[in-house]
Amino acid sequence: MKYSYLILLVFILCLSCSSDKDEPLSGDNFITSFKLFLNNSSVEGNINQSTGEITFDVTGADLNNLTPIIVHSEKSNISPSSITPQNFNDVVVYNVTAENGDVKTYIVNVENRPFNTESEILSFSFDISGQTYNCNIDNNTNVIFLETVGLDLTSIAPSITISENASISPSPSIPQNFGEVITYVVTAEDGTSSSYQVQIDNRPIGTESKILSFSIEHLGVNYAGIINEQESTISINLANIDISSLTPDIIISDYATISPEDTIAQDFNNHITYTVTAENGDFSTYTVIANEIKINAVSPRFSLNYIYYTGAELNVFGNYINPEIPESQLILRDGSTEYLIETVNLISENVDSNNASVYQISFTIPENIPTSNNYRLIYRLGDNNGEFNIDIDIMSDGPENMTINQTSYNYNDVLIVNGINLVPGLVVPSNGNNYIVENSNNYDIEVNPEGTQLTWTLDFFQHFPSYYGQAPQLKKVYTLGQNRRVGKAIFINFN
């Protein structure tokens, strides 16, 4: 029985030896895992079995004296040993030998990028109501700035671009009140940081739409306009220069615009309207009146009112009332009825301290206009009018056809005036004064009931030039009616 067991054991051992001899050797020679401990953590390499490359992409790691953790095929051997520390700053080659002797080579390449040291804000912008506002960045002072107008900045989440691999605090996704200075800290990959201050100058939107000054310079002379805000007009006197093509200098409210632009030459013979528009859209209009026609005064006048007879000669003083301009007209208007003065005389012309051309003209009230107490005197040039703004009272049938009884008069002579519609009063100029001669204790003057003869005894020394040691004078003596209404003048020689 023992012999049978022995034979069976020998048989099993023979079968086992026969099986081992027939099994093929393994040809596996792969690295299936390759790890390095980098930056305090285990990092798995990327294995390309086709090329035999094992790559790492790391940042700022210490690659000296590293012991990898390598998993390779069963029954294979690796060289150098996985327990041998290596310097992975350079390429490291591993050979894996299979059980059957086949060798596969792996090249370990660690791409070790240095930490980025940049901590800059590269762009800074924000959107409001569909509009993007790009801020200016000064990387010397680390100030981010922008000038804006009338924006609501109380809750804005900006768009910020920073250096690669850097971080920023506070997060751009957090809305900020940029009505105040906001500080952002940018931290580079290497841990260094930079602080930026965001300063947005958000001024209020402009609401003013005014012309602050208006002037015109011509041949070295500056002519300044006078601005009337209540009437929205600008008056400018330009003396006697050609005003058909002049370019003004205009100063307007901050942030406003003006139309037409002040760089455009204008014909100031016409009234020019400028529109000033404020930043918020409000606007004001101004009408520029160059060389404004004005009638400033009418004489003579010896009462509180301007009252005259037909035939009286009036002197008119005003700006730009030149009667020698062919298109000009002088008119007496009663309501809607106008009476053209056919003959107007230029007495004098000069330029005053305000650069206005000032004229004295004269005319005789026509005999054929009807009585009215609300005449207006108007100078007209094209579409421009200048009107004396006080009513003139004119009565028809004034003194006329007057003659005197002597060629000259001495003290105590009797002046006799013959004519039609005579009135019992005279105005005698003497030594710079006007003497009102009316029937009173001082004067013996009267007119007959028919109004055809006036008599006056000349017994007042002050009327005679000889009283002042002066030579005889031909004097213009106005007739004077009731309420000192002025009539036609007569010329009398006083010795």
Please tell me the predicted confidence (pLDDT) of residue 56: 96
More confident residue, 3 or 489: 489
Which pLDDT belongs to residue 442?
Answer: 83
Reference 199, options 142, 275, 254, 241; nearest CA is: 142
Q: Give pTM, 2 decimals.
A: 0.63
Please, which residues have CB within 8 angstroms of residue 369's CB and are 6 or more apart in sequence? 310, 332, 334, 339, 394, 396
Just give the CATH number of 294-395.
2.60.40.10
Mean per-residue pLDDT over the chain, rounded: 93
Q: Nearest 10 degrees: CA dihedral of 436, 440, 445, 447? A: 100
- Whether 437 contacts 445, CB under 8 Å: yes
| Residue that the structure tokens 């922008």 belong to | 146
Token code pair at residue 50: 């086709």
What pLDDT score does 351 carry? 93
pLDDT of 489: 97
Q: Using CA atoms, how far apart are residues 107 and 54, in angstroms rounded to an integer?
A: 6
Instruction: Please state which CATH number belongs to domain 400-494.
Output: 2.60.40.10
pLDDT at 452: 98
Indicate the pLDDT class of residue 41, thresholds 50, 70 and 90: very high
Residues 31-113, CATH architecture: Sandwich (2.60)
Of the pLDDT bands very low, low, confident and very high (cuts 50, 70, 90), residue 475 is very high
pLDDT of 4 over the 60 cut: no
For 149-171, what is the mean pLDDT?
A: 95
pLDDT at 23: 84
Flag whether pLDDT at 73 surpasses 50: yes
- For 347-403, what is each residue's pLDDT tens digit? 999 999 989 999 999 999 999 999 999 999 999 998 889 999 999 999 999 999 999
Where along the chain do its domains lie? 31-113, 121-203, 216-290, 294-395, 400-494
Residue-wise pLDDT tens digits, 81-137:
999 999 999 999 999 999 999 999 999 999 999 999 999 999 999 999 999 999 999
Q: What confidence score (pLDDT) does residue 394 get?
A: 98
Which pLDDT belongs to residue 18? Answer: 47
| φ and ψ of 174, to 5 deg | -90, 120
Q: Which fold has domain 121-203?
A: Immunoglobulin-like (2.60.40)
Asked if residue 344 has pLDDT above 80, the reply is yes
Residue-level pLDDT at 132 = 96
Whose tokens are 């100030």? That residue is 143
Q: Strand, coil or helix: what is 91?
A: coil
**Tokens 């050979």 sit at which residue?**
95
Q: What is the pLDDT of residue 382?
A: 86
Percent of the chain at pLDDT exceeding 70: 95
**pLDDT mean over 286-297:** 96
- 121-203 has the same fold as 31-113: yes
Overall fold of domain 216-290: Immunoglobulin-like (2.60.40)
- Which pLDDT score is estimated for 146? 95
* Pairing of the two strands 143-149 and 193-203: parallel
* CB 144, CB 135: distance < 8 Å: yes
Distance CA 461, CA 475 (A): 15
Q: How far apart are CA 234 and CA 241, in angstroms?
A: 18
| Residue 491 DSSP class | E
